[in-house]
Structure 1
């Protein structure tokens, strides 16, 4: 008995072509984000805290993961009050909580990142 020809390729061709097209369409932004991996990042959240850590990854929804992160928060409500800090390690910051995001990098990298704000 002969095996059917379709068994050698279990995934239909149109799925492969759609996947390749979507990868090509997102590749410039993905390339820009890959340059940011392992850069130091400061992320502010809506409740006033800040997290400083190493950028590890971002998902399609925009959630950011920092490694070796430190949390900074004000102990009092006045702007001149000292900041309290604690090590949190690996942390996921949801896009819904994020209020600001800054990367420590050189001026050339900063200029190239301006193209991400579309």
Structure 2
């Protein structure tokens, strides 16, 4: 049977995280709340090759990849086509952060200003 004893160093430890971790978590939760307000809003995402995707914002992961549902792809048509852009329905898509060149959310001016801090 092992003997469990407390040392003087253990007496000052508490279960709460250090102040800098608490501040980081509080800042992170503000960003999470802002992202929750964007859920299921229309989002237009541009990628490096000139295409645009319009869909409902579904989620974003830690790496910045965006999931859009009911997405439609828009791209420049060939010169021989009468329409300046072509479109096709895609459904649920993941747009990698490395490919993204722009991102616009359909929301109020106040909402747009608060998203600039993300």
User: Same fold judged by TM-score > 0.5?
Assistant: yes
List runs of 5+ in structure 1 lacking aligned partners: 1-12
Counterpart selection for 2:85 from 83, 86, 89: 83
Secondary structure in structure 1 of the residue aligned to 2:97: coil
Total equivalences in the alignment: 102
Query: Rg bigger for which structure?
Result: 2
Residue 57 of structure 2 corresponds to which residue in structure 1?
55
Q: TM-score, normalised by structure 1?
A: 0.74
Residue 108 of structure 1 corresponds to which residue in structure 2?
110
Q: How big is the shift at 1:113?
A: 1.9
Q: In the TM superposition, what are the counterparts of 1:17-96 in structure 2 within 5 Å?
A: 17=17, 21=22, 23-76=25-78, 82-96=84-98
String of CA shifts for 1:8-55, please: whole Å, max 9, x gaps.
xxxxx96x858x846434111111111111110000000110000000
List runs of 5+ in structure 2 lacking aligned partners: 1-13
Deviates more, 1:106-115 or 1:44-53: 106-115
Distance of 1:63 and 1:107 partners within structure 2: 24
Q: TM-score, normalised by structure 2?
A: 0.74
Secondary structure in structure 2 of the residue aligned to 1:53: strand
